[in-house]
Structure 1
Amino acid sequence: PAEERLIRDLGMYKKTEKYIRQNISTTQQDAIRRILSDKGVRNQERYADIQQSVKTLLGQARLIVAGADVDVGGEDPQSRITKGFYELIERTYPNLSMLRGIEYKEIDLSRYLEGSGLDLGDNLSEQEQEVLAFIQSNQRGGVRTTLKSTLEKFERKPYGWYYAAILCTVAMLSTRGKLELRSDSDILEEDPLRDALLNSREHGNVVLEPQVEFTASQVRKLREFFEDFFDAPPKSTEAKALGKETAEAFDGLVNSLERLLAQADDFTFLSVLRPELGKLKEIVGKPYTWFLTELGKQEDELLDLKEGLIGPVQKFMGGNQAQIYKDAKRYLKEQESNLIHIKGDEADQIRAVLNDPACFKGSRIQQLKTHLDTLKQKIDEEVGAVRQQAITQLNAMQTRMQSMDEYKKLPEVRAAELDLPYKALIDHINLQKLIAVINDSLRYFEEQGYQTLLANMVEMAAPKPEPVEADEEKPKSRVAEPKVEYISTRKIRVAFDKAWLADEADVDEYLQQLREALLREIKVGKRIQI
């Protein structure tokens, strides 16, 4: 309001301030300096009165917005002016209230893109409807809508929305599946989408397009397929989220089957996955819209594939049947040299199951387990019998050696040295599980070790020759005794012209030939091991 005294006081304040500033530094008289200082103090008091007067008058001032008075109560000028500007903003940007007072921040953009804290089942908010209607209107008119044009639209009257609010609204519409954002014709999703929204230099290249509407029937069919094929209900109910979840589930399935296929060296039947895996890989990478519109054409084929192959294989590999298969294959490999000594067709039956590309179906593995248990029992019994036979034979050889006069002449220490190899070989045989190894160990001992022991025994028992003093004029030469050679009866060849003995005459003839062969070896100084 007009106030004559306020104007007069302002004039006096400014005149006094100027006069004091001009004269206080030039005067040399103390009295004048004191008068100017007093005037300065009173002028500051006048200034405080002016401030209070202005505050009072502002509290009484009329506030006018759009040519009309604004009814704002109270006398505090700052509060009245703030409320007046609120009224100005509300009249200038009537659509600002669509934001409902929610504070949007750029750092929250990832949360809106992920749908965190966003109930996707709710209806669109007013601000979302406004942005979507703008984009749809442009599309109907053939106008290309970019993120930049959207920001410009909603930052101006009558909206006045701020930057972060517009970006978060676009992000919510994208998460709800109402908008698609493209850059260079590529659909933006996840990290590329977030980066595109935050990079203001690229906003002119980011195109906003309304998402194709899907029918409730399409969504329902995809949900039913998902539950039947992946044995679990989907988490999503909205079309876009459901399509993306299905795409991710197929990607996970392919990765899982690839890991199984990598084990084909251990599980031969897994090679049947290879051609079917190629079909599934054709699905991976499809846009989410494909799962809602095109997947139904392959639905029956995929469900048959799941029921006839993928499901049984996954169940087989996830249970104890895989371990039974692996144990059987490993056992056959370990016992390969023992199998020729075993009667029965259990090994062939096991191989047939292992080589069957459909062994993961039905009760084939239960049959394999039965054959495997029977084969293990037979092999254990046969290995035990061969081991016991070898030990018995070794004991017999040791007994024969101990009954010889040369052995009886030896002191206990020397006799223990000769007995030690028998114990070592018996311990070795007790640890062996392969029949061929047991037989080879026994055969080598019979042909080599036993002869060496007998020769050592004779040498130990033979008296040592007394040392002879040499005559310097007539040195005596000593002839070394020939070393006795021991041979096994297996190395003696009998000149007999028949493959078997058929009657008593054959026996007599063979024995005569054997006697002659034995005598020939003895006459040349050899000893024959029996």
Structure 2
Amino acid sequence: ANRLLKALFLVKYVDTFKATPRNLTVLVYDRFGLDLTGLGKQVQEALNLLEAQSYVQRNGNVYEYLTNEEQEIEKEIKAVDVDSAEVSSKLFRYLSSDILKTNKLKYAKNGQDFSFGYKLDDVPQGNQRELTIHFITPETSYSDSEIAAQSMGRDELRVFLGRDKRLLADLRLLLKTERYTKQRTNSGATPSMQAILQSKQVLNADREKELIERLRQAVGKAQLIINAAEIPSSSQDAVTRVSDGFQELVSRTHTNLGLLGGKVYPEQQVAGAVQSETGLFDAATLSALNSPGTEMESWIITQTGLGEKVTIKKIVDRFETKPYGWDLGSIEVVLGWLVGNGKVALSVDSNPVVRTEVTDLIRNTGKHPHVVVAPQKAYDHAKVAAFKKFCTDFFDEGAVPSDPTELARFGKDKLAARRDELNALVSSSRYPFVSQLAGVVALLDEVVGKQVDWYLTDFNKADELLEAKEDLIDPIKSFLNGQQAKIFDETQALLNTNAGNLGYLPTGSADTVKALLADANAFRGNKMNQLKTAADTLRGQIDDIVTDKRAEVTAAIDDRRAEILGSTYYANATPAAQESAIRRIDSILARLGGETQAALILQTGATFEQDDYPELLSRLVEAQQGGDDDAPPPKPMVSVKSISVPDASGVLESQADVDTYLAKYRAALVATLNDGKRITL
């Protein structure tokens, strides 16, 4: 040890000499014939003694002489207290972040990534997973056989790093040096001490790199153990060697992983699995899903039979763990396949989930705890087929769901919508025969609002509803949506518009039209064609009577017009008065030409005779040319028809009655004249 100490002192500042045990053995070889192996052992023992007494320091495999001041610092460094947890934490960081650099490894047989947790000498490090990589350090207190025996029944890969205890000793020295240099650097050290501390920091950085490399080599040569059996690996690369062992760990732990046929299904394929009948999945893939699907279905049936409420989350938790180890995407695809094939049904808050919503619910992990999965209830195939045929026929739907639950939901919603539609027609329609749909609404009320299962088990109104559809619903809807309704509306409008004109037609002229409009079967057969024919006939009669009355009144007014134009009143009137009179007559004739009601036409004629004609003559008289301003105003004109005979009532039965009436009439006429008026005849 003294000879080595002197030698180390001599080469302390010789940078080109590396003071390794081998080089030092050569340096102290002082005569031929020495046993180099024995001398090497003596050198190593002496170096260990010098290191223990802090005369030298070691960094990896290189030794360095320490000055007195350096020795004191080295002793202080070795005296620093380092907690074992700190050592484990540093070692874990090296293994996880610097060597393996991951917390998941790929399973080569299907390309699936499996997460794992870390352990160091039975102490968990970081987040734990179902699979574990357990590093056994050289300072373990267990023998090789005990290390193997303790792995029995555990889902872990044990990586035994060997018996090189100097590995952790150097790690402790690194931590002690790191803590010491930080403390002393901040406490006002002398310049010489600062230099030593800086040297220590540089040396410690090299020590850390060397430690990581030694640790990497230790992992590359480590013994791999699973369930008391050593796992062979030809690789000395740390990551590859651990990965080799991890492959065996996955295959031994997840024995049912093979049910997926060596495939991993991405969640994007959930829609294809759910809609398996649409061809979004190829036949081979759908067939491959049969095996894992049967396994999942069996578990769901078992749990449901035990009274458990199975949610998607429970399914995921079950099949992500051993003995399955399926990834989330594959679990979701298998579940989608079960739904798509009618094996299971989903519900939320006891409400069945329709197929169009299944994919989104399965892929939404936030919804997984709330979506209940239950075996599909078995229904009578004949009843399901019968209800499906009813839905196809009654709703005229080509795309009716095949899944029983979705079919029932579809039929339930459609029946409610049809009931509401027909009820609205009955309440608001102006067609009297639509009230017959009230019976169909009552029938629909009996089947609306039932539980979903009821439509597949107890629905028994198919024949009655289909008969009502054929006999009432379709004919009435066809009537309302076609030309028949237009004919009905136009005819009804004809009657409403010409209510006053009908009184001028022969009795019973409109009876046929009215009867057809009120007919309870007006929507059937050719009733509307008959109505159109009858309406056209009635319209012709109305047009004829209106035309006749208009011609009659027009002729009478034209006659009065001729009388006015040939009168002296007109001849003596001013041009303005003449023009005004003619314009007034033309206006009345124009209005008469646009009038369509016989009563109003006749009323216009009567009004002209009684009011307009006398008034026109009065205005012409008032507008005489060359009149004397001092002359009295002209007498007003009144129609002879406006003169009433007092006390003239009853019936003329004799000549005496006629004479009496004429006497009274003459008196009325004379009284009118005496009243300063003139009478138009």
TM-score range, shorter chain: 0.7 to 0.9
Residue matched to 1:474: none
Aligned AA (2:224): L
Equivalent residue for 1:370?
533
User: Which residue number in structure 2 is paired with residue 211 of structure 1?
Assistant: 376
Q: Is 1:34 equivalent to 2:195 in the alignment?
A: yes
* Structure 1 equivalent of residue 210 of structure 2: 49
Instruction: Measure how far apart 1:460 and its partner are.
Output: 1.9
The alpha-carbon distance between structure 1 residues 125 and 438, as it changes in their structure 2 partners (threshold 3 A), is farther
Structure 2's unaligned 5+ residue stretches are: 1-160
Change (3 A) 1:339 1:497: closer
Aligned match for 1:2, one of 158, 162, 174: 162
More helix, by proportion: 1
CA shift, 1:529, in A, is 2.3
State the match for 2:492 in structure 1: 329
Structure 2 residue 544 is the aligned partner of structure 1 residue 381: yes
1:301 maps to 2:464 = yes
Instruction: Please say if residues 177 and 211 of structure 1, whose CA atoms lie closer than 8 Å, have aligned partners that are also in contact.
Output: yes
Q: Which of residues 599, 607, 621 is equivalent to 1:444? A: 607
Q: Within 2, Cα distance between the matches of 1:330 and 1:172? A: 61
SS, match of residue 425 in structure 1: helix
Alignment partner of 2:581: what SS? helix
1:58-101, Cα deviation, whole Å (9 max, x unpaired): 22323333333445665443455456446535543444566753
Is 1:258 the equivalent of 2:423? yes
| SS of corresponding position for 1:63 | strand
* Distance (Å, rounded) in 2 between the aligned partners of 1:22 and 1:212: 73
What aligned pairs does 1:222-371 form with structure 2 within 5 A after superposition? 222-264=387-429, 266-295=430-459, 297-343=460-506, 345=508, 347-371=510-534
Residue identity matched to 1:517: Y
Aligned partner letter, 1:28: T
Task: Identify the match of residue 594 of structure 2 among 431, 451, 457.
Answer: 431
Deviations 1:118-146 (A, max 9, x none): 979967754543343234334555x3535
The residue number in structure 2 matching 1:220 is 385
Tell me, yes or no, if the aligned pair for 1:487 and 1:528 is still in contact at 8 Å: yes
Give the 5 Å matches for 1:87-126.
Answer: 87-95=248-256, 101-104=264-267, 125-126=290-291
Cα RMSD of the aligned pairs, angstroms, is 4.3
Deviation at 1:448, TM superposition (A): 1.7
Aligned equivalents of 1:465, 1:110: Cα separation in 2? 108
Match of 2:572 in 1: 409
2:487 touches 2:528 (CA, 8 Å); kept in 1? yes
- Tell me how far apart the structure 2 counterparts of residues 114 and 449 of structure 1 sit (CA, whole Å): 85
Deviation at 1:409, TM superposition (A): 0.6
1:528 is aligned to 679
Shift of 1:523: 6.0
CA offsets, 1:31-59, max 9 Å, x none?
Answer: x5334433432332232122122223222
Cα distance change of structure 1 residues 16 and 220 upon mapping to structure 2, 3 Å threshold: closer
Deviations, residues 339-384 of structure 1 (Å, cap 9, x unaligned): 1122374522121111112111111011001111222222222222
Q: Distance in 2 between matches of 1:138 and 1:344?
A: 85
Change over 3 Å in CA distance of 1:456–1:301 after alignment to 2:
same
Give 1:458 shift. Answer: 1.8
CA distance in 2, matches of 1:233, 1:97: 41
Structure 1's 232 and 201: CA in aligned 2 closer, same or farther, altered over 3 A? closer
Tell me the distance in 2 between the aligned counterparts of 1:199 and 1:41.
52
Q: Give the drift of 1:291.
A: 2.5
Counterpart of 2:639, as a letter, is I
Change in 2 beyond 3 A, CA 1:36/1:401: same
Q: Distance in 2 between matches of 1:50 and 1:238?
A: 65
Which amino acid letter does the alignment assign opposite residue 2 of structure 1? G
Q: Is the partner of 1:433 in helix, strand or coil?
A: coil
Q: Number of paired residues? A: 505
Distance 1:86 1:394 in 2: 117
**TM-aligned CA deviation for residue 434 of structure 1:** 1.3
Q: Which has the higher contact order (CA 8 A, sep 6+)?
A: 1
Report the Cα offset of residue 20 of structure 1: 4.3
Equivalent in the alignment of 1:470: none
Partners of 2:652 and 2:395 in 1: CA distance: 71
Question: Taking structure 1 as reference, are residues 225 and 42 closer, same or farther at Cα in structure 2, changes over 3 Å only?
Answer: same
Q: Which secondary structure does the structure 2 equivalent of 1:413 belong to?
A: helix
1: CA distance, partners of 2:180 / 2:314: 59
1:160-199 equivalence runs, <5 A: 177-179=342-344, 186-189=350-353
Distance 1:62 1:313, change over 3 A: farther
- Higher gyration radius (CA): 2
Task: Give the secondary-structure state (helix, strand or coil) at the position aligned to 2:428.
Answer: coil
Distance 1:322 1:112, change over 3 A: farther
Conserved? CA contact 2:516–2:531, under 8 Å: yes
1-structure distance, mates of 2:274, 2:342: 11
Q: Which amino acid aligns with 2:433?
A: F
Identity of aligned residues (%): 25
Aligned-partner residue type, residue 34 of structure 1:
A
Alignment TM-score, normalising by the size of structure 1: 0.79
The answer for unaligned runs of 5 or more in structure 1 is 468-477
The answer to which of 92-101 and 216-225 deviates more is 92-101
Deviation string, structure 1 residues 267-288 (Cα, Å, up to 9, x no partner): 1111111121121122122233
1:429 deviation in Å?
1.5
Partner AA of 2:665 in structure 1: A
Contact 1:496/1:510 (8 A) holds in 2: no
Could you give the per-residue CA deviations for residues 420-478 of structure 1, whole angstroms, max 9, x where no partner exists? 221111121122211112222222222222222222222222865445xxxxxxxxxx9
> Contact conserved, 1:346 with 1:371, CA < 8 A, in 2?
no
1:412-491 to 2 correspondence within 5 Å? 412-461=575-624, 464-466=627-629, 483-489=635-641, 491=643
Quote how far apart the aligned CAs of 1:240 are: 2.1
Residue 390 of structure 2 aligns to a residue whose secondary structure is helix
User: Does residue 561 of structure 2 align to residue 398 of structure 1?
Assistant: yes
Q: Shift in Å at residue 158 of structure 1?
A: 3.2
Query: Does structure 2 retain, via aligned residues, the 8 Å contact 1:181–1:209?
Result: yes
State the SS of the aligned residue for 1:288: coil
Structure 2 length as normaliser, TM-score?
Answer: 0.63
Hey, what does 2:63 align to over in structure 1? none
Distance 2:212 2:487 in 1: 96
For the 8 Å contact 1:263–1:270, the answer to whether it is kept is: no
